[in-house]
C-alpha cells in the first residue's frame, strides 16, 4: 500500500492530470479555476496548457497539506515557468468569490470531498457550475462515491475511474473523474 500511495503522490496523479487536461481539448486562451489548488499541481499543469490564458487557484491554505501556502504555490509556478499565467486567491470552495460565468474551465483535484459536510460539498459543486460559462467544462477528481453523488445532484456528467495511477493505497480508495459540460 505504501508503494502505491507514494507512486500516486509523486508521479501518478501528475500523469493522470496531464491526460485529463489533454482530453478537454483546450484552445490555450481559457480562463481556468482550480478549486482547492494546494501547492499547485493541477493549477500549474493547467497553466502549461494555457499559453495565452489564465489559471486561478483558490484554497483556504490549511495545514492538512505540508507546506501549503500561497507563497509556496506561486514559487512552484515560477519554477515551472508559468508564474505570469497563475494567480492564487484565498477563499471557501462553498462560497466562491467570483462573478457568475467567470471561467471556461473549473477543476478540483481531491479537494471537494474534504469539505466537512455533504451539504457543503454539494454547495461547492453548485458554486463551480455557477462560475462556469455556458459551454464550459467542469472536471473533478474525487473518490468514486463522491463523484457519483455530485453527478446525481447536478443531473448530468460522466464519471470514470482514473486507474491505478490515482489510487491512494487500495482500489477502494480509487479516484474517479467527473466531467460536465455546462449547457449553453
pLDDT attached to residue 175 = 82
Element (H, E) at 139: strand 132-143
Burial of 21 (0-12, 13-18, 19+ CB in 10 A): buried
Is it the case that residue 7 has pLDDT exceeding 50? no
Mean confidence (pLDDT) of the chain? 88
Task: Please report, for the domain that includes residue 16, its CATH number.
Answer: 3.40.50.150
| Residue 7 grid cell | 507512486
Tally the domains of the chain.
1
- Kindly state the average pLDDT of the residues 51-64: 90
- Sequence length of the chain is 184
pLDDT attached to residue 43 = 97
pLDDT attached to residue 17 = 84
Residue span of the structural domain in which 172 resides:
2-181
What are 80-121's pLDDT values in tens digits? 999 999 999 999 999 999 999 999 999 999 899 999 999 999
Spatial distance between the Cα atoms of 120 and 8, rounded to a whole number of angstroms: 27
Q: Decide the pairing of beta strands 86-90 and 54-59.
A: parallel
Amino acid at each position: 500500500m505504501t508503494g502505491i500511495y507514494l507512486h500516486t503522490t509523486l508521479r501518478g496523479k501528475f500523469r493522470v492530470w496531464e491526460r485529463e487536461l489533454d482530453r478537454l481539448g483546450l484552445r490555450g486562451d481559457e480562463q481556468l479555476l482550480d478549486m482547492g489548488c494546494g501547492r499547485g499541481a493541477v493549477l500549474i499543469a493547467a497553466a502549461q496548457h494555457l499559453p495565452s490564458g489564465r489559471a486561478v487557484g483558490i484554497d483556504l491554505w490549511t495545514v492538512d497539506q505540508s507546506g501549503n501556502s500561497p507563497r509556496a504555490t506561486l514559487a512552484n509556478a515560477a519554477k515551472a515557468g508559468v508564474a505570469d499565467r497563475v494567480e492564487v486567491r484565498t477563499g471557501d470552495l462553498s462560497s466562491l468569490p467570483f462573478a457568475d460565468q467567470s471561467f471556461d474551465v473549473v477543476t478540483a483535484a481531491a479537494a471537494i470531498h474534504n469539505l466537512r459536510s455533504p451539504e457543503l460539498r454539494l454547495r461547492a459543486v453548485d458554486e463551480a457550475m455557477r462560475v462556469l460559462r455556458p459551454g464550459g467544462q467542469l472536471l473533478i477528481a474525487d473518490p468514486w462515491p463522491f463523484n457519483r453523488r455530485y453527478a446525481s445532484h447536478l443531473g448530468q456528467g460522466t464519471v470514470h475511474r482514473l486507474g491505478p495511477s490515482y489510487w491512494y493505497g487500495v482500489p477502494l480508495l480509487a479516484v474517479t473523474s467527473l466531467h460536465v459540460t455546462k449547457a449553453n
